[in-house]
Amino acid sequence: MVLALLVLSMGVIGAMVWVDQRVASMTWYQRLNDNLGSYSDRSLLVLRVGAGAAMLLAWQGDAIFVPELEITGAWVGWGQFLIALLLLFRRTTPLAGVGLLALYAYGFALFTPLHMLDYVFFAGVGFYFVVSGASSERIRALGLPALYLTVGFSLCWVALEKLIYPQWGLYVLSENPQLALGFDLNFFLTAAAFVEFSLGYLLIICLLQRPLALVITLVFFTTTLIFGKVEVIGHTLIHAALIVFVIEGPGQVYRAPYTFHKRPSLRTAFASVNVVLLFGLLLLPYVAFAQQAFEAHAAEAEQHLYQLPDDEEAPAVALEVIPDAGDGHLVRLEVERFTFAPENVYGPHVPGEGHAHLYVDGRQVARLYAPVHHLPDLASGTRSVAVTLSTNDHRLYMHGGEIIRSEQTVEVP
């Protein structure tokens, strides 16, 4: 399926060269481009407003750029607030750009490349601001290609996540099945990955700039209606960049990459072949970074495990999930060689005592300090309910190299 969708993407992108050529020759489109281009002097203002809003939202959410990148240092938040203040004035905008680049570099050192490359467009915006103060027009004009490159790259990089970690996307689709439009969830997720990758690639080569930017921003607004505030925070700056693309088009100083060839056939070949090359070039490092992230997570997880000696009789747990006579479900645990100790939850480790962690579809939903727990509302469908045993100091009991746990699949009408 992946190969078929990649070939289909090549064909569609090649056809986009012909569509771009036909649309560009239409009088109404030329007039529209001229009209939008007359607002190009406002591009910097649009991006300043978008970046300022993104910084304030991140400051309020105690995160670098987006809620996913949580931070604890208050100075980072105040730095974001300072960047927002610097963006109020055109003269200080290059300094704000330096601040954005420094903040992105700090985030890159703090988090894994796997995560930070999702948000490389923040570095692109920072560069746009830095060169906006240059006296040379050619240097100032470098900001727009950098913006196209980084926003497009971010879309491509995020698209690969759906292929490498499909379980994340499938969980979201299972919770919001209307997003799949009636298609099989696995097919829809894979197809969505190639659509997103293709959109990012089209931005990188600057093909169908204005219509494409408009389509992408409308799609992002649609997802915001479903995912709410978190989606707004993550996409605010992207929306600002897309508005800049709508205003600026390909720009006036530097040629769009796909126009390096004059003959339509060569342009089509350039656009079609390079999407495959880019897919391969990004897939390899993504897999490598994903493996590094997995190993780092595993090393961190080892610090939260309590390995019992192999010759020691280990605690055991059995899980039963049954419908409650009133509403929801009852979770009952039968334990052996284990004692619940709520009075000692923050105390030292005592062998054979502690508490339990309850999970629904892989997400921890509760700590249990007794063998009975009420789950008020499980979403309809097939649900996986699991439980693990933990020590008083919150390490998971392990025996024979495996975490002591019990799991049950529940059909919820």
Q: Supply the pLDDT for residue 348.
A: 72
Dihedral angle sign, alpha carbons of residues 61, 63, 69, 74: negative
Structure tokens at 273: 């072949």
Identify the weakest region by mean pLDDT among 38-47, 85-94, 322-331. 322-331
Q: Supply the pLDDT for residue 362.
A: 83
Q: Supply the pLDDT for residue 175.
A: 67
Predicted TM-score (pTM) above 0.75:
no
Q: What is the mean pLDDT of residues 306-327?
A: 86
Rounded Cα distance, 52 and 393, in Å = 42
One-letter amino acid at 43 equals S
Is residue 46 a contact partner of residue 238, using CB atoms and an 8 Å limit? no
For the cut 60, the answer to whether the pLDDT of residue 119 exceeds it is: yes
Rounded Cα distance, 153 and 346, in Å = 46
Q: Please, what is the Cα angle at 70 between 64 and 73, to 5 degrees?
A: 75
Q: Supply the pLDDT for residue 224.
A: 67
Percent of the chain scoring above 70 in pLDDT: 92
Q: What is the mean pLDDT of residues 405-410?
A: 92
Q: Supply the pLDDT for residue 226.
A: 63
Residue tagged 């009636």 (tokens): 182
Q: Supply the pLDDT for residue 202.
A: 94
Percent of the chain scoring above 90 in pLDDT: 39
Q: Supply the pLDDT for residue 300.
A: 52
Q: b/e string for 369-393 if b means 16 or more Cβ within 10 A?
A: eeeebebeebeeeebebbbbbbbbe
Is residue 383 very low, low, confident or very high in pLDDT (cuts 50, 70, 90)? Answer: confident
For the cut 70, the answer to whether the pLDDT of residue 346 exceeds it is: no
Q: Supply the pLDDT for residue 171.
A: 67
For the cut 90, the answer to whether the pLDDT of residue 130 exceeds it is: yes
For the cut 60, the answer to whether the pLDDT of residue 309 exceeds it is: yes
Q: What is the mean pLDDT of residues 378-386?
A: 85
Rounded Cα distance, 36 and 87, in Å = 24
Class of domain 312-412: mainly beta
For the cut 60, the answer to whether the pLDDT of residue 401 exceeds it is: yes
Location of each CATH 2.60.40 domain in the chain: 312-412
For the cut 60, the answer to whether the pLDDT of residue 303 exceeds it is: no
Dihedral angle sign, alpha carbons of residues 279, 281, 285, 287: positive
Q: Supply the pLDDT for residue 169.
A: 74
Q: Supply the pLDDT for residue 173.
A: 74
Is residue 230 very low, low, confident or very high in pLDDT (cuts 50, 70, 90)? Answer: low
Sequence-distant (≥ 6) Cβ neighbours of residue 83 within 8 angstroms = 51, 52, 55, 96, 99, 100, 103
Is residue 381 a contact partner of residue 387, using CB atoms and an 8 Å limit? no
For the cut 80, the answer to whether the pLDDT of residue 215 exceeds it is: yes
3-state SS track over the chain:
CHHHHHHHHHHHHHHHHHHHHHHHCCHHHHHHHHHHHCCHHHHHHHHHHHHHHHHHHHHHCCECCCCCCECCCHHHHHHHHHHHHHCCCCCCHHHHHHHHHHHHHHHHHHCCHHHHHHHCHHHHHHHHHHHCCCCCHHHHCCHHHHHHHHHHHHHHHHHHHHHHCHHHHHHHHHHCHHHHCCCCHHHHHHHHHHHHHHHHHHHHCCCCHHHHHHHHHHHHHHHHHHHCHHHHHHHHHHHHHHHHHHHHCCCCCCCCHHHHCCCHHHHHHHHHHHHHHHHHHHHHHHHHHHHHHHHHHHHHHHCCEEEECCCCCCCEEEEEEEECCCCCEEEEEEEECCEECHHHCCCCCCCCEEEEEEEECCEEEEEECCCEEEECCCCCEEEEEEEEEECCCCCEEEECCEECEEEEEEEEC
Q: Supply the pLDDT for residue 299.
A: 53
Q: What is the mean pLDDT of residues 378-404?
A: 86
Identify the weakest region by mean pLDDT among 85-94, 149-158, 227-236, 329-338. 227-236
In whole angstroms, how far apart are CA 395 and each of 129, 308, 368?
A: 47, 11, 14
Of the spans 129-133, 230-234, 323-327, which averages the highest pLDDT?
129-133
Q: Supply the pLDDT for residue 345.
A: 63
Q: What is the mean pLDDT of residues 43-55?
A: 94
Is residue 10 very low, low, confident or very high in pLDDT (cuts 50, 70, 90)? Answer: very high
Q: What is the mean pLDDT of the chain?
A: 86
Q: Supply the pLDDT for residue 50.
A: 94
A 10 A CB-CB count for 56 gives 16
Is residue 114 very low, low, confident or very high in pLDDT (cuts 50, 70, 90)? Answer: confident
Per the model's pLDDT, the better-predicted residue between 374 and 170 turns out to be 374
